[in-house]
């Protein structure tokens, strides 16, 4: 029996996993959700000693049931290979009494690689399976990390094109350089005059436009999405939480069945939702702790039950979390409404019209698994410094937001459950903020000049991803206004 995927906004929609991956977003604007979260077929004990690839197979086969065993194994093999700088793929590092799950050992040194190195393979396999005869055009909005990881993943993948939109001035220097130097004859990147939410809205509107869809089809194209709204992103992200639990067991850090807490620096709510799904698959997770930066719309939501994006959009030192509309939250809203599509559509309608909505008391009761906190800019920087001074371990700004929230949670609740922090980026990617935090960014130094200093300070070798951009040629210079994204896409595709 195949697991079916439903739209959060329309109960009559039912597609297979491969169809959901190809479409990205449902036609009604809803997100695809599995009709139920499958249980892991392995016992917790059996997770001990599994490689990352084996764990990936154990998790993904439960969700992507219309892929054959061979197809899935092939996708996994191609994705989690020497593009990662460690065979462990996602090492779990113990610092003091906390575990950092390092998700930044892939090609673009941020956690987006965990899913985006496999998504292109899942998508091309899905295309064959569904006899797609059109070229797939991936549209992605990025707050900095998705864009590069998606471009790297899809570069020169046959049958695909990729167009990425990022907010001009809203990403780090390293992030921007990574994107504008990306090679590949099928990749384009556009800087928009607006913020991430503008970029994401523009992409969603293009997905929703029937007229554009028809125009594309006439020229042999169809859209899909590499954003975390795609179930093909979400499912591979469940894997590392299962893997982390296996590692904790294997290393004798926990007893089988012992609860852990997971702390996730959150933007679009994809990563933490994957942890939530891992819990529902059977991984003993006590609290899912949602960590926000000063754009603390999610913190306020968990505290009050009201999601309100009517506020100033702040640019912070953790730009990949500078988001006011967290798309994946819709999947949680759907779940806590007991899969009530009407309620979900109503609330999402309110979000669109009024910029805010409030969930019912019954829905709030279903949020017991979550806790939330946020870190100010100062608290984030202080955390980087504190951990560095105490242990010599250097974390990036996003991870530092989570580390602060983790510490704050422990103090506030006295909960002694062991905590795993999702460490989402290499400090090299946000070198300026990191070096400033540890007091080693002497004055005027350019971001790129600081890279060598970070190497000395952290004693972690400069990743290949950084070496590669230092003398790479800028290949992309497109820019457009936030309301002109569709025209830009047409220009690029020659429509």
Q: Which span (75-83, 88-96, 263-271, 275-283) binds ligand PLP, by CB under 6 A?
A: 263-271
Q: How far is the CB of 85 from ligand PLP (least distance, A)?
A: 17
The single residue among 292, 320, 337, 380 that binds ligand PLP, judged by CB under 6 A, is: 320
Q: How far is the CB of 485 from ligand PLP (least distance, A)?
A: 20
Q: How far is the CB of 112 from ligand PLP (least distance, A)?
A: 5
Q: How far is the CB of 487 from ligand PLP (least distance, A)?
A: 27
Per CB under 6 A, 5 contacts ligand PLP: no
Per CB under 6 A, 270 contacts ligand PLP: yes
Per CB under 6 A, 321 contacts ligand PLP: yes
Query: Is the separation of the CB atoms in 174 and 430 below 8 Å?
Result: yes
Query: Is the separation of the CB atoms in 155 and 188 below 8 Å?
Result: no
Give the angle 198-204-205 at the CA atoms, nearest 5°.
90
Rounded alpha-carbon distances, angstroms, from residue 175 to 150, 285, 431, 476: 13, 33, 11, 13
Phi, psi at 136, each rounded to 5°: -90, 125
Q: Which span (106-114, 127-135, 275-283, 340-348) binds ligand PLP, by CB under 6 A?
A: 106-114
Decide whether 396 or 486 has the Cβ nearer to ligand PLP.
396
Give the angle 12-15-16 at the CA atoms, nearest 5°.
150
The single residue among 129, 161, 343, 398 that binds ligand PLP, judged by CB under 6 A, is: 398
Q: Which span (4-12, 23-31, 68-76, 266-274) binds ligand PLP, by CB under 6 A?
A: 266-274
Q: How far is the CB of 41 from ligand PLP (least distance, A)?
A: 26
The single residue among 25, 44, 89, 110 that binds ligand PLP, judged by CB under 6 A, is: 110
Q: Which span (77-85, 194-202, 212-220, 269-277) binds ligand PLP, by CB under 6 A?
A: 269-277
Per CB under 6 A, 160 contacts ligand PLP: no
Q: Site mask, ligand PLP, residues 50-89, x = CB under 6 A?
A: ----------------------------------------
Decide whether 332 or 485 has the Cβ nearer to ligand PLP.
332
Contacts to ligand PLP from residues 424-443, by CB under 6 A:
424-425
Decide whether 254 or 431 has the Cβ nearer to ligand PLP.
431
Q: Which span (176-184, 210-218, 268-276, 448-456) binds ligand PLP, by CB under 6 A?
A: 268-276
Per CB under 6 A, 29 contacts ligand PLP: no
The single residue among 227, 230, 261, 271 that binds ligand PLP, judged by CB under 6 A, is: 271
Q: Site mask, ligand PLP, residues 124-143, x = CB under 6 A?
A: --------------------
Q: How far is the CB of 134 from ligand PLP (least distance, A)?
A: 29
Question: Residues binding ligand PLP: what is the number (CB under 6 A)?
Answer: 17
Q: Which residues bind ligand PLP (CB under 6 A)?
A: 110-112, 145, 228, 265-271, 320-321, 398, 424-425
């Amino acid at each position: 029996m195949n697991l079916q995927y439903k739209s959060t906004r329309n109960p009559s929609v039912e597609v297979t996993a491969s169809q959901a991956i190809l479409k990205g977003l449902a036609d009604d604007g809803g997100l695809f959700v599995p009709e139920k979260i499958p249980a892991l077929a392995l016992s917790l004990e059996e997770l001990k000693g599994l490689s990352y690839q084996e764990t990936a197979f154990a998790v993904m086969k439960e969700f992507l049931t219309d892929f054959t065993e061979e197809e899935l194994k092939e996708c996994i093999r191609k994705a989690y290979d020497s593009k990662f700088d460690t065979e462990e793929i996602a090492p779990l590092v113990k610092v003091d009494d906390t575990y950092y799950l390092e998700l930044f050992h892939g090609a673009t040194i941020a956690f987006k690689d965990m899913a985006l190195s496999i998504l292109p393979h899942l998508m091309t396999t899905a295309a064959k399976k569904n006899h797609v005869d059109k070229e797939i055009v991936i549209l992605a909005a990025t707050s900095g990390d998705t864009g590069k990881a998606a471009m790297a993943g899809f570069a020169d993948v046959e049958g695909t094109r990729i167009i990425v939109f990022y907010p001009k001035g809203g990403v780090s220097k390293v992030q921007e350089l990574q994107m504008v130097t990306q090679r590949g004859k099928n990749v384009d990147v556009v800087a928009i005059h607006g913020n991430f939410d503008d970029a994401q809205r523009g992409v969603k509107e293009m997905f929703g436009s029937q007229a554009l869809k028809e125009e594309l089809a006439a020229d042999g194209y169809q859209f899909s999405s590499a954003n975390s709204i795609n179930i093909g992103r979400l499912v591979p992200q469940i894997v590392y939480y299962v893997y982390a639990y296996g590692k904790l067991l294997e290393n004798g850090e926990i007893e089988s069945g012992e609860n852990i807490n997971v702390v996730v620096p959150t933007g679009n709510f994809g990563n933490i939702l994957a942890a939530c799904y891992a819990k529902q698959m059977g991984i003993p997770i006590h609290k899912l702790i949602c960590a926000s930066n000063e754009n603390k719309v999610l913190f306020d939501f968990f505290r009050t039950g009201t999601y309100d994006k009517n506020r100033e959009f702040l640019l912070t030192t953790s730009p990949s979390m500078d988001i006011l509309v967290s798309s994946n939250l819709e999947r949680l809203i759907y779940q806590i409404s007991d899969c009530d599509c009407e309620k979900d559509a109503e609330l999402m309608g309110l979000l669109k019209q009024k910029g805010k909505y409030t969930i019912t008391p019954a829905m709030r009761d279903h949020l017991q698994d979550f806790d939330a906190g946020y870190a100010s800019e100062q608290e984030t920087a202080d955390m980087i410094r504190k951990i560095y001074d105490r242990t010599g371990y250097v974390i990036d700004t996003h991870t530092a937001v989570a580390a602060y929230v983790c510490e704050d949670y422990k103090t506030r609740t006295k909960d002694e459950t062991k905590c795993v922090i999702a460490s989402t980026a290499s400090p090299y990617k946000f070198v300026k903020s990191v070096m400033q935090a540890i007091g080693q960014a002497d004055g005027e130094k350019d971001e790129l000049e600081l890279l060598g200093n970070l190497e000395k300070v952290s004693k972690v070798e400069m990743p290949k991803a950084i070496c590669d951009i230092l003398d790479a040629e800028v290949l992309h210079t497109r820019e457009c206004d936030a309301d002109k994204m569709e025209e830009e896409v047409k220009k690029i595709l020659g429509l």
